[in-house]
Amino acid sequence: MTVYIDPPAWPGHGRMWSHLISDVSYEELRAFADGLALPRRAFERDHYDVPSHRYADAVAAGAVQVSSREVVRLLTAAGLRRRKRRAAQLPGAEASS
């Protein structure tokens, strides 16, 4: 099992965050996240958000450190990338007249 994590460089909710991903499957990612006791609510589309104070825990558990750019490349190459949709693309969103 190989999962990857980028540096905690993403601000939000008063702290910095990393992205934890798998380049194999969401199941592999979920199993790793469960081993770290990350809450399921930390999963967002194609990755887990990991607070900076848990970064070292993820690396110690075997997550491979990569750049944020590499996270996107790995997800895309694996066919696991799920991009955010714009409001106009969301179901039930109506076009403005």
Range of the structural domain that residue 49 is part of: 3-83
Taken as a whole, the chain contains a residue count of 97
CA pseudo-torsion sign 20, 51, 68, 13: positive
**What pLDDT is stored for residue 74 in this prediction?**
93
Could you identify the residue written with the tokens 């194999």?
Answer: 24
CA distance 25 to 88: 29
Count: domains in the chain: 1
What one-character DSSP code corresponds to residue 90?
S
Q: Which of 8, 3, 51 is nearest to 30 (CA)?
A: 3
> Residue 60 domain-assigned?
yes
The pTM of the full predicted model, rounded to 2 decimals, is 0.81
Q: Is residue 89 part of a domain?
A: no
**pLDDT tens for each residue of 40-77:** 999 988 899 999 999 999 999 999 999 999 999 999 98
Look at residue 61 and tell me if it is in a domain: yes
pLDDT-derived band at 80 (thresholds 50, 70, 90) equals confident
